[in-house]
Amino acid sequence: MQTSGTHLAPHSPDPGDQVSVFIDSGAPLPDTYGDNCLVIMARDPRTIFVYWDIQPTRFEPLRQEWGSQLDQAVGVLRVFDITGLAEEQWKTAPFFDVEVGYGAHDYYVNLPQPGRQHRIEWGLRLPDGTFLSLLTSNVVLLPRGHVSDDIDAKWIAVRSIEEYQAWEKVLHNVDLGRGSADFSRQMAQRWQFLKSVFSMGIPPSSFTQMPSSMPSSMPSSGVAHE
């Protein structure tokens, strides 16, 4: 079926032609979203990514109280190590300061130790050391940054040859050469099977010798958990 209108034939530019390319990248992101917030995320075992947004109106009460002293204040991220502390003890937790400019909205904070729990406050530090907290973050627990110390085998009870065969099929039929979506689906199926096995609540008396028909390739250990 032919439609109305002019038919345009494909055009191949000559080698000497100038070709302009237009890429629509959309509207630019705003400098602020009109909010007052401070968010932290663990990037790796020794680094926290911090981003924040603060409105000028947040400074007005401080200006009335401290006046011209704010002109000499420094923007600071105060990083608290709250590992093992109750919430009522957080204010007295050990900390260190990272100076950041007024125009900054994000920062990577390097930490001395992995595996610790942290919270951060953004505020102003006056010349006499007084800290005026303006924003408080969420809490993050950083990864330990090393292989688990738990190397003991984790055993499960297999009550029949059918269960063992299902277990072996799940463990050995994961194709690492397939695409990430297929691999994720296989691992999800494997996890569902493992949960069903571990949720059986089998008493210790069921750890008996396997039937003589059991294949000799039965796994000798399980997975060590962090």
Compute the distance between CA of residue 179 and CA of residue 163 in angstroms, rounded to an integer. Answer: 28
Sign of CA dihedral 226, 46, 127, 63: negative
Express each pLDDT in 73-87 by its tens digit. 999 999 999 999 999
Position 112 scores a pLDDT of 92
- pLDDT value, residue 30: 79
Q: ∠ at Cα 112 (111, 113), nearest 5°? A: 95
Contact in structure between 117 and 40 (CB atoms under 8 Å): no
- List the one residue out of 214, 225, 226, 224 whose CA is nearest residue 167: 214
Lowest mean pLDDT segment, chosen from 92-96, 99-103, 131-135, 171-175: 171-175
Q: How many CB atoms lie within 10 A of CB 110?
A: 10
Number of Cβ within a 10 Å radius of residue 131: 14
Q: Bigger pLDDT: 71 or 15?
A: 71
Closest C-alpha to 113, from 155, 79, 142:
142
Residues forming beta bridges with residue 135, ordered by sequence position: 122
Q: Highest-confidence range of 3-7, 82-86, 167-171, 182-186, by mean pLDDT?
A: 82-86
Q: What is the pLDDT of residue 207?
A: 40
**Reported pTM:** 0.56
Higher-confidence residue of 54 and 26: namely 54
Tokens 């950041």 correspond to what residue? 100
Average pLDDT over residues 40-52: 95
Mean pLDDT to the nearest integer, 84-101 = 93
Other CB atoms within 10 Å distance of the CB of residue 27: 6
Domains detected in the chain: 37-141 (2.60.40.10), 161-206 (no CATH)
